[in-house]
Amino acid sequence: MKTKLLSLLLMTHSIFAIDLERGESETLEGVGNLTHPEFTGNILQDKLIPFEIKDSLGEVILTGNYHSRVFRSNSTGKLVFAGRVRDTSNPDGTFGWVTHVRLQGFGFVDVDAEAALDSASAGSVRASRASRNVAGDVLSYTIGPGLLNPPDESTFFFAGTQAESYTEDGRVTIFASNDFGGNSFSVELEGTLVPVKPPLYLQLGERFFFETSYYYPIDVTGVAKGVQLRVETSPDLTAESWSLTSEPLRTVTGEVTRAYGEVYEDYDGKQFFRVVCSLPEESR
């Protein structure tokens, strides 16, 4: 039988045109109609984070604000995370332009990526491409094809998710250049709006498979004779490389049980994890 949990984990909500899988890079078509339901909803929070980018000599070549926004989509009811680079300027005697933006904090959610066209949003230069690292926690948006040269600003770029809540624990890295084909300079900012990592809830009779580079807490509810839980790791996601962690197979019982928490923190970013839960054979 299917429960809300299984539907939430395994059903992909196609919010935008680009379903950004782990390890993929996709061209963004751009969206020109902000009245479309996916792009409308209640804005939950806007946050401006000031930044300055220095060159290799320590001279500030570009300043501005990073605009982090989260809103609840009218069409899906889930959270959409948006960002843009704004209020840009070059100090006297310097020059530089923004090339791309890297967001951290999305490793445990599906992501649909897009960007607003300049005619549909504040700003004049949109993101033309989005990519995601293999672990899935880092999203990168290439700004262009035109240069984001001060006082230009970017339009909003989007990460549609299935998340229900958010936090200010994210990070963003803004990259700039002052020489075609030359060095890239950057600054990392903390405090961006990102999805909250929720617990997974397992109901009696439910069996699911989930992969992530992070552990979720797992709450087991409605357990009768117990649920078997095992955690496996892989360095590269290939089928033959999965192996059981040092934690033995365990059976948990109780009305509500915290079966597995956040462990093996030293593996973060180095290993992939999958959590497999099932009822013991005699209980099926």
d(CA 226, CA 222): 9
Average pLDDT value over all residues in the chain: 75
- Is-contact 62 53, C-beta < 8 A? yes
Q: How confident is the model at residue 12 (pLDDT cuts 50, 70, 90)?
A: very low
Q: How far apart are CA 283 and CA 279, in angstroms?
A: 6
Whole-number percent of the chain with pLDDT over 90: 43
Mean pLDDT for 271-281 is 56
* Least confidently predicted of 2-11, 88-97, 140-149, 240-249: 2-11
pLDDT single digits (tens) 204-263: 445 544 544 444 555 555 443 455 656 666 666 666 777 765 454 555 544 444 444 333
* pTM for this predicted structure: 0.70
| Rounded Cα–Cα distance for residues 29 and 129 (Å) | 9
pLDDT tens profile 175-203: 999 988 788 999 999 999 999 876 655 55
**Is residue 267 very low, low, confident or very high in pLDDT (cuts 50, 70, 90)?**
very low
Tell me which H or E stretch contains 130. Answer: strand 127-132
Two structure tokens written together for 172: 């963003």
C-alpha span between 176 and 174 (Å, rounded) = 7
Question: Is the CB of residue 15 less than 8 Å from the CB of residue 73?
Answer: yes
pLDDT of residue 201: 56
